[in-house]
Amino acid sequence: MTTTRSLREKAGSEPITMLTAYDAPTASVVEAAGVDAVLVGDSMGNAVLGYDSTLPVTLEEVESRTAAVARATDEALVVADMPFLSFGVDDADSVENAGRLLKEADADAVKLESGPHTVELTRRLSDLGIPVMAHLGLTPQHVNKLGYARQGTDRDAAERILELARDHEAAGAFSLVLEHVPSNLAAQVTDALDTPTIGIGAGPDVDGQVLVITDVLGLSDRSPPFSEQFGDVRGEMERAVSGFREAVEGGEFPAEEHGHVEGDVDDIY
Ligand code: KIV
């Protein structure tokens, strides 16, 4: 069973794998494939809830999806993403919201899109026994300020990311996602930390990789440039759905084996 401790132990010897999942069947496929951690990301906003960004995603949505994922997994570490403004506004609310994701939804850890404002919160949650995965670089909850652009692309910005990574490690974060930052910056952050780094658009020199499941499956309308499609699930779904429609319209479905006849219910009308 993957724990925050075993994930840390794996770092440096073997690559860590993490994928998002937002429902039970997908989580069970991810776990059966031997992926170390399942992230119930607020990327669910764009990926499966039909929003234009992650900003509208609510704590209740993450909670309900996390509970479904947790019910379907025994081995993988389940990390629940804290949605926009569910943390960082009020300390007590932040702790209560993070606690709900562990107590009620059965997450093993939470992820926070991080910045200077999350260092003390990371310390507080970690002290309380709520493991925190930090997230630096591109943080999509800041889309209205930063867009979806690469981060850490000049010296000052890169130094800020390295400093924040160190601060979150010191505050107790058990791992750190680095999103859409230069590969050479991610490599240096990884060298500087004992805490495992998990990259997305951060090159190969990190301790692990994470991608959004709908991108990996080939189900997304649009995917970021750093993603890779490993399947054609949209094509397979289209074939299945068209097959159903054609079979119904052509009178081939349902066939005899899909129904049953009871003598007793003859002649009631
Ligand atoms: O919400 C999410 O899925 C994420 C990953 C892309 C790291 O934050």
Could you tell me the residue ranges of all domains in the chain? Answer: 4-231
Atom of ligand 1 at shortest distance to CA of 210? 7
**How much distance in Å is there from the Cα of 43 to the middle of ligand 1?**
5
**How do residues 144-165 score in pLDDT, each as one tens digit?**
999 999 999 999 999 999 999 9
**How do residues 50-91 score in pLDDT, each as one tens digit?**
999 999 999 999 999 999 999 999 999 999 999 999 999 999
Find the catalytic residue in 60, 120, 179, 256: 179
At residue 62, what is the residue type? Answer: V
Atom of ligand 1 at shortest distance to CA of 113? 8
Q: Is the pLDDT of residue 92 over 90?
A: yes
**Ligand 1, residues at Cβ distance < 6 Å:** 20, 39, 41-43, 81, 135, 177, 179, 200, 210, 212
* Whether the predicted model's global pTM rises above the 0.95 cut: yes
Confidence of residue 43 (pLDDT cuts 50, 70, 90): very high
- Residue nearest ligand 1's atom 4 by CA: 41
Q: What are the helix (H) ranges across 36-154?
A: 44-47, 59-71, 91-103, 119-128, 143-146
179 a catalytic residue? yes
pLDDT at 12: 82
Fold annotation for 4-231:
TIM Barrel (3.20.20)
Judged by average pLDDT, the poorest of 2-16, 68-82, 125-139 is 2-16
**How do residues 22-39 score in pLDDT, each as one tens digit?**
999 999 999 999 999 999
**221 phi and psi, to 5 degrees?**
-65, -45
